[in-house]
Structure 1
Amino acid sequence: MPAAESLLSFAAASFVLLIIPGPAVLYIVNRSMSDGRSVALASVAGLELGNLTHAVAATAGLSAVIAASATAFGVIKWAGAVYLVGVGLSTLVRRPDAVSLSVDHLPRRKAFSQGVIVNVLNPKVALFFLSYLPQFVDESRGPAWSQVLTLGVVFVVIGSVTDSTWAITTSGLRDMLLRGRSLAFVQRWVSGSVFVALGVLAARAHRVT
């Protein structure tokens, strides 16, 4: 178990990192504006399960394998990029009458699984956990693996709070778009473009050697 001082420092640093808008926040806001609050929260749950998966992988040493192997890094990177671009293109080519103005038109289960895939297939998240968590490990406090896992769980808990806040606060924009009859445009063109952009960002990820 990490020392209380280390946990507090880790929690504070993680909070600052998590409230800064990044690809995950962009994905959440996109889902919130396009599909509503409950779908966005389902996406958040999926993203955090993905984070927990990476925390466990870091604990088990799998993240180190990804960092050390150009092949493993490339496979994960391109799988994630292809998936994101595919989702984006399928959204962009939908017929206008296929765009739903109803709340929760995207099943929450699908939003959850999509969130998991988006995070798990992002090697930059794996490298982040591998480089970030060990900084707060104190070997005198017990096995390193238990401390890394504890820190990972704390990160996921904080991330759940901050990401859910983004989902809830931006869901009100959906109502404004609906009243202004702009929701169909956002659901098709903005949402699709965001996914393609996230895919391009994933493809541009580089392994640190």
Structure 2
Amino acid sequence: MATTTTGQCEDKEEREEAAESDEEAEEDEDLPETSGDEEDDGEAENQLIQAIALLGKRQYTRQWNEPSSIISEFNISTDQQKSIDTSELLQGLTNKKGLKQLKQRLNKLSDNTTQLLKPLAPIQKDRIHRKLAYEKSSKQISDWDPIVKHNKRADHLQFPLQEDVPAIPSLNTKVESFKAVTPLEQKVQFQRHCQQVFGIAMLS
């Protein structure tokens, strides 16, 4: 029994030693991989440093869109009291042909410009309309002033002042406006027409 127990102990020790040797071998295998990762990290750091160095050489100047007091094609003017002149806008066209004629035309246009008036408020517009309507109605009423004064001075008045006499149409107007409708009337009208034109009566 003693020999068997000692043999078992030796087998256990051998197994433990084999397991330890396997673990060491695995650790040795992992070591080169970690060193490769470190090398990759070092290359990435070097590339980052080179990129930063290149950025220092090529500086990007950002253009600001904030308003400034200087008038140019890139800036917005904040000075509202000063108006922009056309000559300031044409500074970049000094070497162009026809600039003189263009300046002359712009000067003529600037001289002839008239400022539009501010539209009236609705209350003021209504007031002006009422005033014009009052003047028009007072003028129409003033045309009746002589008649009113004459009637005031008269001893007595008889109404209506002017009687409407109905117009009585004469016989000639009735004859001229007569139009034959029935066959008998048409026949009589034809006879009269022949008698007036030819001097004879057409017998049928």
**Category of TM-score, reference length = shorter chain:** under 0.3
Compare relative contact order (CA 8 Å, sep 6+) and give the higher one, 1 or 2.
Answer: 1
Higher helix proportion (structure 1 or 2):
1
Q: Normalising by structure 2, what TM-score?
A: 0.18
Larger Rg: 2
